[in-house]
Amino acid sequence: MNPADLPLRDIHLPDAPGWWPLAPGWWLLAALVVFALVGLVFLIRYRRNALGRLANREVVRRERDWRATGDHRALLCGLAATLRRTAIAISGRDKTAGLVGDAWRRHLNAPLVDAPFDAAPGALLLDAAYRPDAPQLGAADVTALVELCKRWPRVAARGAAARGTIS
């Protein structure tokens, strides 16, 4: 028998496997990478808002103390001190601690678009510690003042974190 007359073909290798669909291990790795990135984003946002959360707890505590005692001077002085400490934490002691009067008002108004520290009740925080008697505030004024003192640290810290200037 002549080998050239045999109906045999040469060895045929199978086609190389395609890259799609992916093996289950690659899907698991992709899911882990996505979850890690989402977790990292949430962690960064959580840490960025930590200062605002801390300041808000302090403001709520001071409001609760005011509701228990009715001491307007303690409320105004406490909120002013909280804003001052928060501003120092955000901008640094050298830029913030010495600000008084109009410079302090401008610093507080800077991150907010509506300049709430120019009018009542925000303006009361600027000189409350220096008044011999505190003005009597109604519940609506206290609520507005507390909301302003909760909003300012969030906005100021978010802006400073975006600029990378938190001390």
What is the pLDDT tens value at each position of the chain, 167 positions in all?
A: 687 788 878 888 888 888 888 889 999 999 999 999 999 999 988 888 888 899 999 999 999 999 999 888 888 889 999 999 999 998 889 988 888 888 999 999 988 888 888 887 788 888 776 777 767 778 888 889 999 999 999 888 877 766 666 55
Indicate the angle between helix axes 50-69 and 139-163, nearest 10 degrees. Answer: 170
Tokens encoding 4? 């050239």
pLDDT, residue 40, reads: 97
Contacts for 106 with CB less than 8 Å, ≥ 6 apart: none
142 closest CA partner among 86, 74, 66:
66
pLDDT, residue 65, reads: 94
Q: CA 158 to CA 3: how far, in whole Å?
A: 83
Tokens encoding 163? 């600029």
Residue 149 sits at the vertex; the CA angle it makes with 80 and 64, to the nearest 5 degrees, is 85
Q: Which amino acid is at 38?
A: V
pLDDT, residue 18, reads: 85
pTM check: above 0.75: no
